[in-house]
Structure 1
Amino acid sequence: MRQAADAREVPDVAPMVAVIGATVRCLRKDRGMTLDQLAERSVLSAGVVSQLERGIGNPSFATLVQLAHGLDVPVGRFLMITDSSSPVVRAGERRRIDGHGMQSDRVSYEMLTPDLSGQIEANLVSSEPGHDTSATPFRHNGEEFGIVLSGQIDVFIDGVRHGLSTGDSIRFSSTVPHWFVNPGPQAATAIWVNTPPTW
């Protein structure tokens, strides 16, 4: 009986995927882009983009990030993250955005800002040893600032490695290709700030 109850608690993602797909298709057409053009800009296959636009499957968070970069919009545009009426984010009420698919078990994001209506966005990022985003480098408008709270994080900016340990911080232009690696033997946590918001 308990298993049946647990099964009922699993949310149906199909309606959400359908909405995301329709949003991607609308944004793509508004920009006069073909499927192939969006796929190239997002570093994805045209088949993946086509399936998503038709509401098929369960896209990974990394895929949504790549599409957002290709369309030059925050990922929150897909996730329907709405504005909050309170300026305070309680520790136990942070919105969590977990990565799906590739290395989904190696990183998690918790929003430290109440919403995405302001000029900055801050997240608490936790990554496990071996987490590596080099396969899908990030590149978008704005600036980034990060400070490592524990562990080690390698930040690659245009291919140049910057090793950060506990207490170290970094700032750079987000328009330059960048990616992150946790090279250490332990989990790492960091506060990451983007302006303007990228989700």
Structure 2
Amino acid sequence: MKLFNMSYPDEIPEAVRRMSEASDAMSGKGMNIEVMVATVGAQIKVLRKQFGLTLDDLSRRSAVSTGLISQVERGKGNPSFATLVQIAHGLEVPVGRLFHLTEQLSPVVRRDERRALDFHNTGATDPDDARYELLTPSLNGALEVIWVETQPGHNTSKTPFRHSGEEFGIVLSGVKDVILDGVRHRLHPGDSITYSCSIPHWYENSGDEPSTSIWVITPPTW
């Protein structure tokens, strides 16, 4: 298990500065500490997912209980600074990175600032034949909007999806097959599809060129 030095002289001033600036900015907009905690929690969840860590993994690495990490990620409670320091070191990032609050509060997501999502465990034939990018600024909202680019032959049939919520997709270019409970629906540019996520579903690029599409999921799955 990783051991932690709780002094962190180089990191604390920067983190405190970020927290102070974010708090001042939010108070000017009528926001409160609950919003700040929710945003920090969302940042922790994003980093944990990006690094391929489960809650149990991060708990072992940070010496913070799984329950407390889950609570923080959901924006609940009021975690101590020491707890956030431990979580940051479990993620192996500077603690100041958890306080990138002003950027996360912006409603705009620039094209070159989209957050990449790692869906390599979806059963694709090649981990490099698909790209997923988050179009929404936060993972705490009611919607998850994803930009998807797949190469010919991309196929997720090995691990069909099934989860709660509703899903909508529209194809912008190329061809994309959506298979719902064994029924194949072939979508061309401009075609869209809506379905319950509780139906087993998977995807395939059955065309001979890259496919680009946008997917909206509620509630968020990532």
The 1:23–1:159 alpha-carbon spacing in structure 2 relative to 1, beyond 3 Å, is farther
Where 2:203 maps in the other structure, the secondary structure is strand
Which of 1, 22, 38 is the matching residue for 2:57?
Answer: 22
Where 1:109 maps in the other structure, the secondary structure is strand
Q: Deviations over 1:139-185 (max 9, x none)?
A: 00000000000000000001100000011000000011000000000
Matched residue, 1:104? 127
Greater fraction helix: 2
- For 1:70-109, what aligned pairs fall within 5 Å after superposition? 84-100=104-120, 102=124, 103-109=126-132
The 1:147–1:20 alpha-carbon spacing in structure 2 relative to 1, beyond 3 Å, is same
| Percent of aligned pairs with the same amino acid | 51
Contact 1:98–1:107 (Cα < 8 Å) also in 2: no
- For 1:77-156, what aligned pairs fall within 5 Å after superposition? 84-100=104-120, 102=124, 103-156=126-179
Where 1:162 maps in the other structure, the secondary structure is strand
The 1:17–1:148 alpha-carbon spacing in structure 2 relative to 1, beyond 3 Å, is closer
In 1, Cα distance between equivalents of 2:53 and 2:164: 27
Contact 1:152–1:182 (Cα < 8 Å) also in 2: yes
After superposition, the CA RMSD in angstroms is 2.8
Where 1:193 maps in the other structure, the secondary structure is strand
In 1, Cα distance between equivalents of 2:164 and 2:199: 9
In 2, Cα distance between equivalents of 1:19 and 1:130: 30
In 2, Cα distance between equivalents of 1:124 and 1:17: 20
- The TM-score with structure 2 as length reference comes to 0.54
Which of 183, 190, 197 is the matching residue for 2:213?
Answer: 190
Shift of residue 115 of structure 1? Answer: 1.1
In 2, Cα distance between equivalents of 1:175 and 1:17: 25
In 2, Cα distance between equivalents of 1:161 and 1:89: 33
Which 4+ runs in 1 deviate beyond 3 A?
Answer: 16-21, 23-27, 98-102
Shift of residue 193 of structure 1? Answer: 0.5
Counterpart residue identity of residue 57, structure 2:
A
What stretches of structure 2 of length at least 5 have no aligned partner? Answer: 1-47, 61-65, 71-97
Counterpart residue identity of residue 95, structure 1:
R
Aligned residue pair count: 134
In 1, Cα distance between equivalents of 2:221 and 2:131: 16
